[in-house]
Amino acid sequence: MKVSVVIPAYNHEKFIGAAIDSVLNQSLQDFELIIVDDGSTDNTAAVIKAYSDPRIHYFHQENQDAFNTINRGMGQAKGRFIAILNSDDIYATDRLQRLVEYHEKTGAQCLFTDVIPISDAGIEFTDPDFGWNVWHRKNRDFYRQAGDLYTGFLKGNFMVTTSNLFMTREAVEKVGNFCSLRYLHDYDFMFRMLLAFPDAVHYLGDEKLLYYRIHDGNTLGEAAITGREQDQQLIRKYMLMKVDDGAKKYVQAGSDRLVELQQELNDVLASMSRDRVGIRNSLAGLLLACKRKILK
């Protein structure tokens, strides 16, 4: 068997069918599809069970979060290659074939491509000024200027999602499981992959072979805070791994201070903004009091 595709599924009854179809309709048909349902409480399981293709292997578990779900799926994989597809994303029809061919030509151990951002309704976000497009373009531009994947990833995760990972079995066995980070397990995994195979991770930046779904409000709330806190920790960790031991204490101290300075700056700006509002309110109150005095 050539490719094992792992789908971690959780409460995506609206999208899981399209994800499954995008695998079943691949131009390369030598695959197995492993779907691990992470305790969905909607009709995700019913949608999955409606398929009768013998290449689909379905597993259900109590909710354990995405990284555990992916790890279980990879543990069931029997293919020469292992790919991941989140249950709300979609493969381009020739994705698996293109990546297998590229591996055979280059010997790459891990591959990822550019992505196409889509809405809940499957409509592509084409506006260059759309916030996500600005963020992704900035990260890609920095990578092109740097000319180095590791440096590029320190600036931002332009792989975007676990759905973009396509790896040899050997690479997965060497790098190991996804870590227990709720939001950035893919980011951590890619740094470990780059350390394990510094010359065998390839980015097909000119090929858009994955549709990445951006949900309404998915950058708000807990993820916006916890995700950025985890981001700080990861950048610090993997930046220091590329620094000589003799210089690590300087980089560590300096980077910590830069973070502190940014927080201090934010606090000062917030305080000044509150002071301005207070002054404006005081002036408005004074003018209103004067006006009332004159009217009397």
**Residue 225, in any domain of the structure:** no
pLDDT, one tens digit per residue, over 40-86 is: 999 999 999 999 999 999 999 999 889 999 999 999 999 999 999 99
256-275 residue pLDDT tens: 787 778 878 888 888 877 76
Tell me phi and psi for residue 153, to 5 degrees.
Answer: -70, -25
Q: How many Cα atoms are found within 13 Å in the side-chain-facing hemisphere of 249?
A: 1
Residue 249 inside a domain? The answer is no
Q: With the C-alpha atoms ordered 162, 168, 174, 177, is the resulting torsion angle positive or negative?
A: positive
Q: Do residue 210 and residue 290 come from a single domain?
A: no
Which is more confident, 50 or 278? 50
Residues 17, 116, single domain; the answer is yes
Residues 46, 151, single domain; the answer is yes
- 219 pLDDT band (50/70/90 cuts)? very low
Residues 269 and 158 in one domain: no
Q: Residue 112, class by beta-carbon neighbours within 10 Å (0-12 exposed, 13-18 middle, 19+ buried)?
A: buried
- Say if strands 110-118 and 201-213 run parallel, antiparallel, or are unpaired: parallel
User: In whole numbers, what is the pLDDT of the chain averaged over residues?
Assistant: 90
Q: Are 35 and 20 in contact (CB under 8 A)?
A: yes
Determine, yes or no, domain membership for 252: no
Q: Is residue 247 part of a domain?
A: no
Of 217 and 69, the structure prediction assigns the larger pLDDT to: 69
Tell me which of 266 and 149 has the higher pLDDT. 149
At which residue do the structure tokens 């509002």 appear? 277
Domain that holds residue 296: 258-296
Instruction: Write the CATH number for 145.
Output: 3.90.550.10
Across 18-41, average pLDDT: 97
State the Rg of the chain over Cα. 24
Residues 22 and 168 in one domain: yes
Q: How many domains does the chain have?
A: 2
Question: Of the candidates 35, 33, 31, 28, which has an alpha carbon nearest to the alpha carbon of residue 12?
Answer: 35
Check whether residue 78 and residue 144 sit in a common domain: yes
pLDDT band at 231, cuts 50/70/90? confident
With a pLDDT cut of 70, the percent of the chain lying above it is 90
Position 281 scores a pLDDT of 64
Pair 79, 147 in one domain: yes
Bridge partner list, 213: 118
